[in-house]
Chain A
Amino acid sequence: MQARDFDDSPLPGAPSYPGAVEPLRHRWVRSGDLRVHVAEWGRESDPPLVLCHGFWDHARGFATLAPLLADAGYRVCAVDVRGHGDSDWAHTYFWWGWVGDVVRVIESLDREVAVIGHSFGGGVAVDTAVVLPQRVRKVVNIDGFGPPPDDATVAPVPERLENFLDLRRKLTMRPDWKPYPSLADLIARRGAQNPRLSPQWLQYFVFHAARQTEAGWIWKADLQMTGGAGPWKPDFVALSYAALEVPLLAIEGTEDDTWGPMDDAIVAPRLARAPDVTRCRVAGAGHFVHMEKPRETAAAILDFIG
Chain B
Amino acid sequence: MIRLRHGHLDLALHELRDGVGLPLLLLHELGARSDAWRVAEVCWSGPVLGLDFSGHGQSDWPRGGCYQPEYWAGDADAVLAHVGPAALLGAGVGAYVGLLLAGARPQHIAVVGMLPGAGLHGGGPVPQFGRSAYATFVAPVLPRWTSGADPQVAMTEAMIRPPDYVGTFARKAPAIVLVEEASSCPPWWEDVAGGANVIKVGGGIGVVSAAMARIARV
Chain A positions near chain B (C-beta within 8 angstroms): 32-34, 82, 88-94, 96-97, 99-100, 103, 127, 130-133, 156-159, 161-162, 164-165, 168-169, 171-172, 175, 224, 229-232, 236, 239-240, 242-243
Chain B residues positioned under 8 Å from A96 (CB to CB): 66, 133, 137-138, 155
In whole angstroms, what is the CA distance A240 to B129 when docked?
A: 6
In the complex, how many angstroms separate the beta carbon of B172 from the nearest chain A beta carbon?
5
Chain A residues positioned under 8 Å from B162 (CB to CB): 231
13 pairs, CB–CB < 8 Å, chain A vs chain B: A32-B65, A92-B67, A92-B68, A92-B71, A96-B137, A133-B131, A157-B165, A158-B106, A159-B104, A161-B70, A161-B100, A161-B103, A231-B161
Tell me the dominant secondary structure on chain A's binding face: helix
Chain B residues positioned under 8 Å from A33 (CB to CB): 63-65
In whole angstroms, what is the CA distance A97 to B140 when docked?
A: 11
In the complex, how many angstroms separate the beta carbon of B71 from the nearest chain A beta carbon?
5
| Contact A157:B64 (CB < 8 A) given known A169-B77, A224-B8, A231-B160 | no
Looking across the interface, which residue of chain A has its beta carbon closest to that of B155? A96
Chain B positions near chain A (C-beta within 8 angstroms): 5-9, 54, 60, 62-71, 73-74, 77-78, 81, 100-101, 103-106, 126-127, 129-131, 133-134, 137-138, 140, 152, 155, 159-162, 165, 168-169, 172
In the complex, how many angstroms separate the beta carbon of A141 from the nearest chain B beta carbon?
15
In whole angstroms, what is the CA distance A157 to B172 when docked?
A: 10
- B9 and A92: CB pair below 8 A? yes
- B63 and A164: CB pair below 8 A? no
Looking across the interface, which residue of chain B has its beta carbon closest to that of A93? B66
- A162 and B70: CB pair below 8 A? no
Chain B residues positioned under 8 Å from A165 (CB to CB): 73-74, 77, 101, 104-105
A-B pairs with the 8 shortest C-beta distances?
A90-B64, A91-B62, A96-B137, A243-B129, A161-B104, A131-B134, A231-B165, A229-B70
- A172 and B5: CB pair below 8 A? yes
A-B CB contacts (within 8 Å), total count: 138
- A168 and B9: CB pair below 8 A? no
In the complex, how many angstroms separate the beta carbon of A238 from the nearest chain B beta carbon?
10
Chain A residues positioned under 8 Å from B160 (CB to CB): 231
Looking across the interface, which residue of chain A has its beta carbon closest to that of B135? A131
Chain B residues positioned under 8 Å from A162 (CB to CB): 104-105
In whole angstroms, what is the CA distance A130 to B8 when docked?
A: 31
In whole angstroms, what is the CA distance A199 to B65 when docked?
A: 38
In the complex, how many angstroms separate the beta carbon of B9 from the nearest chain A beta carbon?
6
Chain A residues positioned under 8 Å from B161 (CB to CB): 231
In whole angstroms, what is the CA distance A165 to B9 when docked?
A: 15
Determine which of A32, A168, A169 lies in contact with B64 in the assembled complex, contact meaning CB atoms within 8 Å. Answer: A32
Looking across the interface, which residue of chain B has its beta carbon closest to that of A239? B129
| Contact A91:B9 (CB < 8 A) given known A161-B73, A165-B105, A231-B160 | yes
| Contact A156:B140 (CB < 8 A) given known A34-B63, A92-B64, A162-B104 | no
Determine which of B54, B68, B130 lies in contact with A230 in the assembled complex, contact meaning CB atoms within 8 Å. Answer: B68
| Contact A91:B168 (CB < 8 A) given known A161-B100, A171-B7, A172-B7 | no
Determine which of B63, B69, B131, B138 lies in contact with A90 in the assembled complex, contact meaning CB atoms within 8 Å. Answer: B63
- B104 and A158: CB pair below 8 A? yes
In the complex, how many angstroms separate the beta carbon of B152 from the nearest chain A beta carbon?
8
In the complex, how many angstroms separate the beta carbon of B91 from the nearest chain A beta carbon?
21
- B129 and A164: CB pair below 8 A? no
Looking across the interface, which residue of chain A has its beta carbon closest to that of B65? A32
